[in-house]
Structures are given as structure tokens and as C-alpha cells.
Amino acid sequence: MEVNEDMDTKSESEHQPSKDALIDISFCGSTPLLWKVSDMKRCRSAGVIGALVGSLARQPRQNVRLGRPLELLQEEALLLEETSTAAASLQTQDCGDEEVHLEAVRQYEAGLESSYKEQCALALEDKKTVLRRIMDEKENGTDDSGNAIRDRLNALDQAFRFPLPAMAVQLHTARAGFSHCPEERSFHSTDWPVPRDERLNTRFCVYRDLRHKGFYLTSAGKFGGDFLVYPGDPLRFHAHFIALCISMDEELPLSDILAIARLGSNVKKTVLLCSPRSRSETEKDESVEGDVVYSSLQWSSMV
Amino acid sequence: MADRDTSTDAHKHSVFEELLSPSELFEARSRSHKIPVRGQKDFLPNGSEQQRARLQQSLDEHWTLLAEERVERLGNLVKAVWIPDERLVELQSPAGKFWQTMGFSERGKQYLRPEEALYLMECGNVQVFYRDLPLSIQEGYERFLSHETVTLHQYQVFGHLKRLGYVVNRFDPSSVPSTYERQLNLPASSWDKQRKQLKRKRSQSPVSSDKQNPSPVEKTTTEDQSEELVNASESPAGQTAPDPSLEESMQSADASDRTWWMEEDVQPPSAQSQSAAPRWDFSSISFPDLGSRRSRSVSLESPDPSLLPGALEVGGCDLSPWLRRLNVKQEKLSQRDRERQRERDRYHRDINSDREVRHCRNWAEYLQLVEDRRRRSQKDKPVHLWENEVTPLTQPGQCNSHRELLDQISIIKSSSLPEGVSSLSASDQWTISFDVYQPDTVAEFKKSQPGKPYTHMCVCSFDGPVPDLHALKQLSYQSGDVPVTFAVVDHGDISFYCFKDFKLPTDSY
């Protein structure tokens, strides 16, 4: 199996958690979400893909391409937390201090005011440029219309109106930080909002192992499995495997195996049955990396 | 953790670096609105420069699209305020085009539900403020979505459907009319408006379904027939067991009516006529057969005054106006229809042409006759088959068609989805979340009269259990005659499934 170049960058970022700020994972219920583009970029360079679930800013009324937030799998979030790349941010409380809050409101309104003034000036400049360009074009033609435009240009400084509703405002996607209350972060895995049951542990072991081997993984619910395994970035490559995570002692009925083998052959992907093999003694630390055993299913013809 | 000095703007820029400067905002007017198309994918990474370049290009495109912030003209934005106590968003400037399908008015103010407000925020139509500061979309997700309002999965389904153009409302169980009510096709009465009011205040809790009303039974022989019909329709048709008070009033009302139906030659046993008796003896009451062509009676006699309660004076009943309302005309069949009927009736034996059956005066006697005949016919049946504990299910010659035969030998009776629903307990896990209306009805859509929804949406996820028969029955019952669709959310991807009732064919024609 190929080792991606991304492995190198990942090991680098692993050793500098104190230099860069940590990635912010905000939880909506039990679902981890990422909001900032810089966080998403860093995630992707660590091999964590996630799935976009919000409306795209440029064209909100379509479902072909979605926008922020980026929803992470539980396993992805756990991996980021384990490698100290990210931390969960707790729900922000309302700012209790009234004075601080009023100051924040004042600052916000002052910001709007200055933005308006700047945009006024910009609009005026823009209009002047347009008029000058028309004037230049008209210079080549008759003179009369040119004069009219010159008069307009000169009167522009007084006559120009940029109404307040014409101002452009930004609708922030990620938290804008207007209110000055500091964000609380949790650094302990015990504060993780999602309980770690056996199923999550199995999946996480498989996820971490495949990620270390350089594969990119996304969710595979529609394919009847746990993960879709890509040899490279999902933006450019098709998935090769459907990974199904089963614990070593779990019994799987033959009909289930047949069903998923059929499904895999229909979508031209190989089905992988993955089971983490835990080291015999250690039971206290669930995240000990044991080996993961992989078996692939293939129809064999006996003709 | 990096030192957070939040007093300078420059620092804000670096920490919350997605703040746009005024010049950037100004330039945003001339942004492109097109989304680049994604090219073909490759099969295997081969470390080539070409692949790396293409990957980088795709990634750059990807980040550009994602990093783009929403910039809107202040005049195009509708200003609104989030009210956490009521969990609603109140509009403070006039609503735009979205008001046709979203939001509601109450006490003179316009409100949006949290999921609608969040969707409109994502579309860039509404700017929601909380304590005088605008909320970002992240804060919208954190504050608006919860178990009491709408969960993240439900919001994802909501957003997906809205982006496709559907009209999506929250489901209110009490607003589903029963099939009976729908049959009556009543115009929106004041009762309906009252129900809608309750729907707004507590949109998740169902209205109590045991509405008491004075007259529970439709009576066809009293003058105020239309009034009775309206009253009867108000009681939800889904009630299975009438409570004692209703039953009593039913009996006292019927005690007087019963006498209309007595024919002169059959006298009612005097014991039953006293209203104190809680049970009637149906075997002694004969009901007049107005529809059959054989009945000749044109009027019913006045009943015996001793049978009537109190000092009630009841005259004879003229049946001709009732007979006129019945269509007793002979059916005129076409040649082909007559042929078909002849084929069907070839082996049909009319039960009423049997003399012995005609002698029976009521059901009890008829059943007795059937039993006697059966016992007589049993004499020529083989003993070893019929006298033991296990007997055959059917006899030769007993059935005329495949369906009858299959009915006789089917020990496992087939059931349909609505059967046995009333005995099911409500389940917390499976609830219907939304009413969905089709996009092409948007032009005439009226919030006060939405009409019958296209489907009801139930949101679940691949991590959860598959709906079992209990859940299916309960949901389809709750949904009335509107189909139920399951929206399964898998990490952002949504798949829609529905279950269709299917009847196996039992006869060949």
C-alpha cells in the first residue's frame, strides 16, 4: 500500500501543537462541526475530510455543492483530539457583564459607521471613474455630450448620494467575535460530549490505522459499510474499498456477508472486513494501538 | 493557548480572520455567481506532476468557494430578533417573498420558526440580532437547534428540501383530519381555526383528542338531521370505545326511535322498552327493509303509547319521502354488462330463493338452519377425516372460486397496515417531523389553508434502528392518508425511503 506524501506534513504538525492555535471543534448536539476555513485546511492536510452540510454562500438554493459547516465523523474528531490538533469548544454563555456587552455593541455600531463612510468614498470614486471613462470615449465623438458629462462630474461631489440601504454588510459564517466573552475550551477527553462505547472504539481503531497507512476515509452509510477508503484525496480519486468494522468476537450472519459482497460488486468496490486485534493484557487503555486485521471479499468462480 | 488580547481590531483580524474590510465588501458586488464544474476523477494516484497540479487546482477552487463570505446589500436584508424564551425569531422589518410559505403572524407581529430563520440566514435574506449584535450562522446553529426545537439532522433534511423548492412545515399531529372528516369535505370552520391557534402556541404537543360533545350519534329520522351531522363530525372518528355517558344518552335517544322501526305484526317485549334496561335484545327487534324491492310498506304505524317515555305523542311515519331519496330504479345494463352478469351468476344461487331461509324471521333462526343443514350433511362425510380433532379446512364442492378456497384454507389471515393500530402505544423514537408540499404549488400556497401535504417526513439516521412494523403502523396511522417518507441522514448525505402497502392477488379472473 502506498504511503502518501501527506504523511510527512502530518508528522510535522503533530510536533507543533503549542505554536499554532488548536482547531476549534464546535458540537451541535453530539455532532462535531468545523466552521473556519483555516481549520478545514489544516484538517485536510492531516487527512481528515469530513462532509459539508450547509448552504453554499455563492448559491444557497442548490444541493449539488454545499458549504460550511464541515461535519466530522466521530472518529475524525477523536483523531484530531488525540493528536492534539484540535479541542472541543464548549457552548458559549451569554456575556453576564452588562458593561462589557454595551461596549461590544458600541464597537459594532462604530464599525458599521466607519464601513459606511468608506464605502461612500469608494462608491464616489467608482462613479467618477465610470464617468471619466465615458467622457474619454465621448471626446472622440461630438463635444456637446462630453460637456454635459464634465458638468456632472464636477457636480458629483455635492450631488452624490450613497444611501444607507445600499451599503454592503457581511453575514458572518463563523463566529465573528463581536462580544468579548472569551471562549471556553475543553482539553480533556473526559469532557467529550459523545460517550465512547465499544462500537465507536472499534471504528476508531480501524479509522486510525487506515489513516496512518495514508488512506483517506469518508462515511459509507449508503454503501452498507462504515467507511469508504480512497487512495488519495477524494476530490480527485474514486474510492477503492468499502470498510466494514467488526470486532474480533462479533458474529456476522452469512446473509449479511453475502449482501455486502453483492453490494460491493455492484458499485465496483472491494469490501474490506476490518477487525482490531487488541493486545491481550491491556484493557484499561482502550486506545492502545493493536493491529487491525483486514480481509477482503472476492467472488471466486469455480468453473 | 495563544494569548487572547481582544482589544485591537488587528488582532481580531488575525483571530477571526474571516472579517471583510469595507473595500472587500464593496468589491463583492461584482462577484461571479457561477459554481465551477468538477472534472473527471482519476483511478490511482501515480505521483505524477499532472495529478498533483490538478489536485491543487481542485483544492484551490474548493477553498475559494468555501471561504467566500455572504455579502448583502443592507436594504435587501430583513432585520429580525431572536427570542430565546419563546424560541422564535421576530421580524422587525417587513418580510420579503419568503413570507408566502414561511413564518406566521401572532398578536400583530410576524414570527419565524428557528429552522426557517436559520435557513433564511444561510440564504442571505435575513439578519438575526440577539442583544443588538448580529448572530453569525455558527451561533445560529448553536442557539436555534436543540432537542426542543429541531435537531441538527432534522434541520439538514429541512434545508435539503427547502433548497429543492419544497414547502416544509412542522408536523402537528392534531391537524391531520381523519378519513371520515376528509370524506365530509367540510369547509374551514371556526373549529379549524381554533385548532390552528393551538398549533401555533405549542406546535409539538398534540391537542387533546377526547372532545366531548352532546350528540354522538347520527339520527336519520329526526328533523334536525344536518345539525346532527355537523356535531357528529366534530367528534374525532378515531374513537373506538364510547365512554359510559355517551352510551347512556345514545340509548335514551334510541329508545324512542326504536319504535319507528317496529312493524305492526312484531310487538316489542315490554321489558326492553323501559329506559332503565341497559341492554337491548336485538333478536326481537326487526328492522324494516326499505331498500329491497320486496318490501311493500309505505308507512310505519304509530307505536304503542305504553312503549314511549313520558307523555310523548308520536304519529305514524310516512315512508314515501324517504323512499324517494333512495334510488330504487332498476339498473339498466348494456349488452356486455348483461353477458358478464350472466357469466357471474351462472353458478350463483340466490340465498333468498330458498324456501327454508325465507321462513327464518331473524338471524338467530337463520344460523340455526345453517347449523342443522351442516349437521345433516355431515352424515355422509368420511369419519376418519371429520370426527377427529384435526379436520380438513374445506370440503369438495364448497367453494366456487379461487378466492373463496384460499380464504377457507388460509389459517394465517393476511392483515393490512392499518389493522390493530388503536391498540398500539405511542412511540417516542419515531415521530413525524415535517409536512412537505410540492414545489409547483408554491404559487397558490396559502399558509392558512395549506391543504393536503404531499408527504410526511420522518427523520432518522443510519446509526439508529430500522423502523419496525410497530413504528410503521403507528406512523402511518398518525399520518392519516398522507404517505410517510423516511429521510435517512448519513453524515450529510440524505436518502429517502418509503414503504408501500402491497396486496397479494388472491383470485384469477
Largest CA distance in chain A: 96
Determine, for residues B25 and A119 on separate chains, whether the beta-carbon distance falls below 8 Å.
yes
What mean pLDDT is predicted for residues B30-56? 80
From B64, which residue of chain A is nearest by alpha-carbon distance? Answer: A37
Active site residue A15: no
A171: nearest CB among B121, B159, B490: B121
Q: Which helix (H) or strand (E) holds B181?
A: helix B179-184
Task: Please count the residue pairs, one from chain A and one from chain B, whose beta carbons lie less than 8 angstroms apart.
Answer: 233
Give me the pLDDT at residue B401, please.
Answer: 80
Q: Which of residues 102-121 of B touch A (CB under 8 A)?
A: 119, 121
Determine, for residues A58 and B65 on separate chains, whether the beta-carbon distance falls below 8 Å.
yes
The answer to whether the CB of A61 falls within 8 A of the CB of B38 is: no
pLDDT digits (tens, 9 = 90+) for B367-383: 888 888 877 776 667 77
In this structure, the number of other CB atoms found within 10 A of the CB of residue A161 comes to 9
**pLDDT band for position B66 (50/70/90)?**
very high
Q: Which three cell numbers stand for residue B471?
A: 413504528
Q: Which of A41, A117, A180, A238 is catalytic?
A: A238
Length of chain B as a residue count:
509
**Ordered per-residue pLDDT tens for chain A, 303 residues:** 444 444 444 444 344 444 467 888 888 888 999 999 999 999 999 999 999 999 999 999 999 999 999 999 999 999 998 888 888 876 666 767 788 888 889 999 999 999 899 888 888 888 888 888 888 887 766 566 667 777 777 777 777 888 888 888 888 898 877 665 555 555 554 467 777 888 899 999 999 999 999 999 999 988 888 999 999 899 889 999 999 999 888 898 999 999 999 999 899 899 999 999 875 544 545 545 568 999 998 877 777
Among all chains, which residue has been given the C-alpha cell 376418519? B384
**Which chain B residues contact residue A219 at CB under 8 A?**
490-493
Distance of CA A158 to the CA centre of its chain: 48
Instruction: Choose the mutation target among B7, B132, B138, B154 for the interface with A, i.e. most A CBs under 10 Å.
Output: B138
Q: How many CA atoms lie within 13 A of B18 on its CB side?
A: 26
Under 8 Å CB-to-CB from B271, ≥6 apart: which residues? B277
Give me the pLDDT at residue B220, please.
Answer: 36
C-alpha distance from A210 to closest chain B C-alpha (Å): 17
Determine, for residues B2 and A21 on separate chains, whether the beta-carbon distance falls below 8 Å.
yes
Q: Report how far residue B427's alpha carbon sits from residue B431's, in angstroms, rounded to the nearest whole number.
A: 8
CA angle, residues B289, B294, B295, in degrees to nearest 5: 45
B324 touches chain A (CB under 8 A): no
Considering only residues B310 and A120, tell me which one the structure prediction assigns the higher pLDDT.
A120
The answer to whether the CB of A172 falls within 8 A of the CB of B129 is: no
Under 8 Å CB-to-CB from A71, ≥6 apart: which residues? A31, A32, A33, A50, A51, A52, A53, B491, B492
Query: Which range is least confidently modeled, A102-116, A205-219, B229-243, B471-485?
Result: B229-243
Determine, for residues A2 and B45 on separate chains, whether the beta-carbon distance falls below 8 Å.
yes
B122: nearest CB among A54, A170, A177: A54
A233: nearest CB among B28, B55, B493: B55
B83 touches chain A (CB under 8 A): no
Give me the pLDDT at residue B92, please.
Answer: 94
What mean pLDDT is predicted for residues B163-176? 87
Q: Report how far residue B359's alpha carbon sits from residue B372's, in angstroms, rounded to the nearest whole number.
A: 14
Question: How many angstroms separate the first and last alpha carbons of chain B?
Answer: 80
Determine, for residues B74 and A166 on separate chains, whether the beta-carbon distance falls below 8 Å.
yes
Give me the pLDDT at residue B6, please.
Answer: 37
The answer to whether the CB of B433 falls within 8 A of the CB of B459 is: yes
Active site residue A212: no
| Class (C level, CATH) for A198-280+290-297 | alpha beta
The answer to whether the CB of B142 falls within 8 A of the CB of A24 is: no
What mean pLDDT is predicted for residues B153-164? 95
B159 touches chain A (CB under 8 A): yes
Q: Which is it for strands A168-171 and B70-73: parallel, antiparallel or unpaired?
A: antiparallel
> Does pLDDT of B122 surpass 90?
yes
**Which chain A residues contact residue B74 at CB under 8 A?**
164-169
Q: Report how far residue A203's alpha carbon sits from residue A209's, in angstroms, rounded to the nearest whole number.
A: 10
Instruction: Choose the mutation target among A173, A199, A200, A269 for the interface with B, i.e. most B CBs under 10 Å.
Output: A173
Under 8 Å CB-to-CB from B165, ≥6 apart: which residues? A61, B439, B442
Query: Which range is least confidently modeled, A25-34, B155-164, B435-444?
Result: B435-444
From A183, which residue of chain B is nearest by alpha-carbon distance? Answer: B4
Cα–Cα distances in Å, from B316 out to B220, B258, B336?
A: 16, 13, 45
C-alpha distance from A55 to closest chain B C-alpha (Å): 6
Q: Which is it for strands B78-83 and B126-130: parallel, antiparallel or unpaired?
A: parallel
Give me the pLDDT at residue B161, please.
Answer: 95
Q: Report how far residue A197's alpha carbon sits from residue B463's, in angstroms, rounded to the nearest whole number.
A: 13
**Which chain A residues contact residue B35 at CB under 8 A?**
56, 58-59, 62, 64-65
DSSP state of B297: -
From A176, which residue of chain B is nearest by alpha-carbon distance? Answer: B16
Q: Is the dihedral of CA B28, B32, B33, B39 positive or negative?
A: negative
Q: Report how far residue B498's alpha carbon sits from residue B217's, in angstroms, rounded to the nearest whole number.
A: 38
Query: Which range is least confidently modeled, A5-19, B79-93, B137-151?
Result: A5-19
C-alpha distance from B500 to closest chain A C-alpha (Å): 21
Considering only residues B293 and B235, tell me which one the structure prediction assigns the higher pLDDT.
B293
Determine, for residues B26 and A122 on separate chains, whether the beta-carbon distance falls below 8 Å.
yes
Question: How many angstroms separate the first and last alpha carbons of chain A?
Answer: 31
Active site residue A230: yes
**Which chain B residues contact residue A67 at CB under 8 A?**
65-66
A38: nearest CB among B17, B131, B163: B17
What mean pLDDT is predicted for residues B335-357? 82
CA angle, residues A152, A154, A157, in degrees to nearest 5: 100
The answer to whether the CB of A68 falls within 8 A of the CB of B130 is: no
B37 touches chain A (CB under 8 A): no
In this structure, the number of other CB atoms found within 10 A of the CB of residue B154 comes to 20
Among all chains, which residue has been given the C-alpha cell 344461487? B349
In this structure, the number of other CB atoms found within 10 A of the CB of residue B213 comes to 11
Determine, for residues A37 and B63 on separate chains, whether the beta-carbon distance falls below 8 Å.
yes
The answer to whether the CB of B297 falls within 8 A of the CB of B319 is: yes
C-alpha distance from A248 to closest chain B C-alpha (Å): 20
From B42, which residue of chain A is nearest by alpha-carbon distance? Answer: A237
Give me the pLDDT at residue B160, please.
Answer: 95
Considering only residues B153 and B410, tell me which one the structure prediction assigns the higher pLDDT.
B153
Length of chain A as a residue count:
303
Determine, for residues B493 and A222 on separate chains, whether the beta-carbon distance falls below 8 Å.
yes
DSSP state of B423: T
What mean pLDDT is predicted for residues B76-91? 93
Distance of CA B11 to the CA centre of its chain: 56
DSSP state of A85: S
Give pTM, 2 decimals: 0.71
Give me the pLDDT at residue B451, please.
Answer: 82
Q: Which helix (H) or strand (E) holds B172?
A: none
Distance of CA B290 to the CA centre of its chain: 36
DSSP state of B126: E
B75: nearest CB among A31, A33, A166: A166
Strand boundaries in chain A, DSSP class E: 23-28, 31-34, 51-54, 67-71, 86-89, 168-171, 185-186, 216-219, 227-230, 241-245, 270-277, 291-297
C-alpha distance from A107 to closest chain B C-alpha (Å): 10
Q: What is the mean pLDDT of chain B?
A: 74
**Which chain A residues contact residue B31 at CB under 8 A?**
58
Considering only residues B223 and B348, tell me which one the structure prediction assigns the higher pLDDT.
B348
